[in-house]
Amino acid sequence: DTGVSQNPRHKITKRGQNVTFRCDPISEHNRLYWYRQTLGQGPEFLTYFQNEAQLEKSRLLSDRFSAERPKGSFSTLEIQRTEQGDSAMYLCAARTSGGLTDTQYFGPGTRLTVL
Amino acid sequence: GESVGLHLPTLSVQEGDNSIINCAYSNSASDYFIWYKQESGKGPQFIIDIRSNMDKRQGQRVTVLLNKTVKHLSLQIAATQPGDSAVYFCAENSQWEAGGASYGKLTFGQGTILTVHP
């Protein structure tokens, strides 16, 4: 158990619809990351939160994507007007500040299929 | 841009053999590397990490070697078991401070598929 849960695990939607994913890390994980992974590739960084502040966004995060972490605990990733190219596994990772390790612990991911 | 890549996309071994998975990285400024294991339909699972001030680190049945001269990272799995079958990724952690805030992200390689035959 990595202490990071994600919901839903699978999402099938039609092109043009909006979708929202949720990530719940344990309270000690004040740093939260979103990644996208397509088949056969490694995860690609999307965005990073330290507590409630979104400190970095990848150029992969188009205007249709928005992420929030309103209370510094759970986070949501929303995709508006989904496109078939958005089909991927969306992974959330989290870690604590300081300590002896910079390891990010991943959740199980949300598999998005856009028809 | 900077990238992390793997030499071999697939590796097949017999149960009980030792496995070696290789990774090349290009960001010489990175000071931390992680190996992850990912099984089908699951998120990446932490295996072992190493900082750039080390050249070797051992865990349970796994060893990570870091050669900064040639920017090469390897994961050795001893007595490989069928349960070790998965995709293995190396990742480079890039972290920096700016404006009093801390930033960081992982850059992953493409992955190596390890198949262990009983």
Does B102 sit within 8 Å of A50, measured CB to CB? yes
- In a 13 Å sphere around the CA of B45, the CA atoms on its Cβ side amount to 11
Residue B96, H or E segment: strand B86-98
Residue carrying structure tokens 């001269």: B69
Which residues of chain B does A109 touch, with a Cβ-Cβ cutoff of 8 Å?
A: 42-43
Which residues of chain B does A45 touch, with a Cβ-Cβ cutoff of 8 Å?
A: 105-107
Question: Which of 47-86 (A) contact B at CB < 8 A?
Answer: 48, 50, 53, 55-56
Q: B36 near A2, Cβ under 8 Å?
A: no
Single-letter code of the amino acid located at A108: P
Does A106 sit within 8 Å of B103, measured CB to CB? no
**Highest mean pLDDT of the ranges A6-10, A95-99, B22-26:** A6-10
Min Cα separation A15/chain B (Å): 23
pLDDT tens for each residue of chain B, 118 residues long: 345 554 458 999 999 999 999 999 878 888 889 999 999 989 999 999 999 999 999 999 999 999 999 999 999 999 999 999 999 999 998 776 766 666 667 889 879 999 999 9
Does A31 sit within 8 Å of B41, measured CB to CB? no
